[in-house]
Amino acid sequence: MTELRRVYIETYGCQMNVADSELMFGVLGRDGYVRTETPEDADVMLVNTCAVRDNAEQRVVGRVGELQRHKRAGGVLGVVGCMAQRLGPALLAGAPRVDLVVGPDAYRNLPELIDLACGGERLSDTEFRSWEHYEDIPALRQKGPTAFVTVQRGCDYRCTFCIVPQTRGPERSRNLADVEREVAGLVLQGTSEVTLLGQTVNSYHDGQHDFADLLRGVGGIDGLQRIRFTSPYPTDFTPRVIEAMAVTRAVCEHVHLPVQSGSDAVLRRMLRRYTIERYLEVMTQLRRAVPGITFSTDIIVGFPGETEAQFDATLSLVAAADFDDAYTFKYSVREGTPAVRLKDHVPDDVASWRLGRLVETVRANVRRKNMARIGETHEALVERPARRGTLMLGRTRGNHLVLLDLPPTAAGEYHTVRFTGTTGSTFTGSVVQPQMAVL
């Protein structure tokens, strides 16, 4: 018998990449590979990459340079994911010690590609396979109470700043029954919260079932406590979907709702399919249907042609929408996207200044909201030990993080907790003893 080969995967970018890395461990595990957490003792090193912004790609370039040093004789170094898909064979030409370049639709070929690379070949597979859902390949996940479940791959929207449609290909959804079977299996292994993943996840449609059916179906699985999903597209919140959210107990009271800009003119140039009025209307509908719901968002500053007044509209939106959290980005030009051809690119120093102001505004708003939450009680799922200290990290249904004085064995438990303090972004909390109802 040959020796087991060890594979190391380093993951950058979004949650779908985390899920894809688990899938790659599944593909390779089936072929006799074992997982290692350290590049030093790996036979195969894969870097799962993001192409959404230039700085994400630059980080990967630096990291690939470092990993090359750990590459042993006969070892394989591969770049996979969105940057691999975007650059294809050109990446091989630019990085002489990289053996493999593999896009998100080619992961089932990894064992074969790695064997060829071991034989000295350098090769890429970036073909789109729009039928590919990896349905027969069980992902190899880290055991825990929460899990990511990809329900849709690719994207058919054409936001002018975004490279994703070109790195992940056309949109397609898994069959509802397959998703339900996977989630039921996860529950049997101790998972009680799933996050359903897709680029425009609420446009999910398997030919017979829409996203409302998906929420109801998954929500009906015995033992599943919580459903999250990311990222929805604002105008895909149909009345059916909102109704399903309202009546499906497991669906958490939190939505990540990327807005991108507070200016209608900028939204038009981005080819986002809504106005701010419509976006706020969707928020109002969701707030009405799902009491206590919280919102996070993504915002880009410095999009081509963004004027000072248009940027101010974004600041105003942060106040009007009253976000509970926001991920903020400086626009990054992506070769091959329509926005490259737009006029009036915003100078970098102006974009940086705007980003700084936006971050301040968001932080102040979130801080104010979180201070006002001190004293509230919430259900928290204990996820894992916190990075520092001896506390455990819990998450409320509204997606607030709370540090709790509980033993590591509490991972996976649900507790009613009271917020006792906040850093501005995360909370400290104490477990509330169940009280007898007083009549």
| H/E segment holding residue 242 | helix 239-247
Q: How many CB atoms lie within 10 A of CB 326?
A: 22
Least distance in angstroms from the C-beta of 196 to ligand F3S = 16
Give the integer Cα–Cα distance in Å for 257 and 232.
Answer: 6
| 199 touches ligand F3S (CB under 6 A) | yes
- Please give the DSSP secondary-structure letter assigned to residue 192: -
| Residue 300 contact, options ligand SAH, ligand F3S, none, Cβ 5-8 Å cut-off depending on partner type | ligand SAH
Binding test (CB under 6 A) with ligand SAH, winner from 39, 258, 262, 394: 258
DSSP assignment of 146-165 equals EEEEE-EES-----TT--HH
Using the minimum distance from each CB to ligand F3S, give the nearer residue, 338 or 412: 338
Residues contacting ligand F3S: total by CB under 6 A: 9
d(CA 34, CA 26): 10
User: What would the x/- binding string for ligand F3S be over residues 98 to 137, using CB under 6 A?
Assistant: ----------------------------------------
For the CB of residue 388, give the shortest distance to ligand SAH in the complex, in Å: 28
Cβ proximity to ligand F3S, 127 vs 156, nearer residue: 156
Work out whether strand 226-230 and strand 254-256 pair parallel, antiparallel, or are unpaired.
Answer: unpaired
List the structure tokens of 436: 């007898």
- Cβ closest to ligand SAH, residue 200 vs residue 263: 200
Task: Select from ligand F3S, ligand SAH, none the partner in contact with residue 147, using the beta carbon and a kind-dependent cut-off of 5 to 8 Å.
Answer: none
Asked if 329 interacts with ligand SAH (CB under 6 A), we say yes
CA dihedral over 273, 276, 282, 286, signed as positive or negative: positive
Q: Which is nearer to ligand SAH, 199 or 370 (CB)?
A: 199
d(CA 140, CA 20): 10
For 435, counting Cβ atoms within 10 Å of its Cβ (0-12 exposed, 13-18 middle, 19+ buried), the class is exposed
Question: What SS3 state is found at 139?
Answer: coil
Q: State the minimum distance, in angstroms, from the CB of residue 233 to ligand F3S.
A: 6
Scan residues 285-314 and list those touching ligand SAH (CB under 6 A).
Answer: 298, 300
In whole angstroms, the minimum distance from the beta carbon of 108 to ligand F3S comes to 23
46, 51, 52, 227: residue in contact with ligand SAH (rule CB under 6 A): 52
Q: Residue 317 Cβ, how far from ligand SAH at the closest point, in Å?
A: 14
User: Tokens at residue 414, please?
Assistant: 């649900």
User: Can you tell me which of 147, 162, 404, 411 binds ligand SAH, judged by CB under 6 A?
Assistant: 162
Instruction: Please state, in angstroms and rounded to a whole number, the distance separating the CA atoms of residues 436 and 355.
Output: 50
Q: Is 314 exposed, middle or buried (0-12, 13-18, 19+ CB in 10 A)?
A: buried
> Which partner, ligand SAH, ligand F3S, none, binds residue 165 by CB below 5 to 8 Å per kind?
ligand F3S
Q: Shortest approach of ligand SAH to residue 91 CB, angstroms?
A: 19
The residue count for binding ligand SAH (CB under 6 A) is 17
- CB under 5 to 8 A by kind: which of ligand SAH, ligand F3S, none does 25 bind? none
Query: Within the chain, what is the greatest distance between any pair of CA atoms?
Result: 77
Among 134, 204, 211, 233, binds ligand F3S (CB under 6 A): 233
In the window 148-177, what residues touch ligand F3S (CB under 6 A)?
Answer: 155, 157, 159, 162, 164-165
In the bound state with ligand F3S, the residue whose beta carbon lies nearer, of 164 and 393, is: 164
Residue 39 or 165 having the CB closest to ligand F3S = 165
Which residue, 168 or 174, has its beta carbon nearer to ligand F3S?
168
Q: Which residues contact 286 (CB under 8 A, 6 or more apart)?
A: 237, 242, 245, 255, 293, 295
Dihedrals φ, ψ of 377, to 5°? -110, 140
Contact criterion met (CB below 8 Å) for 154 and 130: yes
Q: Considering only 131-139, 203-211, 328-336, 347-355, which stretch makes contact with ligand SAH by CB under 6 A? A: 328-336
Q: Which of 107, 134, 161, 323 binds ligand SAH (CB under 6 A)?
A: 161
Q: Work out how close the CB of 199 gets to ligand F3S at its nearest, in angstroms, rounded to a whole number.
A: 4
Beta strands (DSSP E) in 31-128 are 33-35, 44-49, 76-81, 100-102, 123-125
Alpha carbon dihedral 270, 273, 277, 278, in 10-degree steps, equals -150
Q: In the complex with ligand F3S, which residue's Cβ is closer, 233 or 427?
A: 233
Closest CA to 135 of 193, 206, 213, 82: 206
Contacts with ligand SAH, residue ranges (CB under 6 A): 14, 52-53, 161-162, 164, 199-200, 231, 258, 260, 298, 300, 329, 331-332, 334
Contacts with ligand F3S, residue ranges (CB under 6 A): 155, 157, 159, 162, 164-165, 199-200, 233
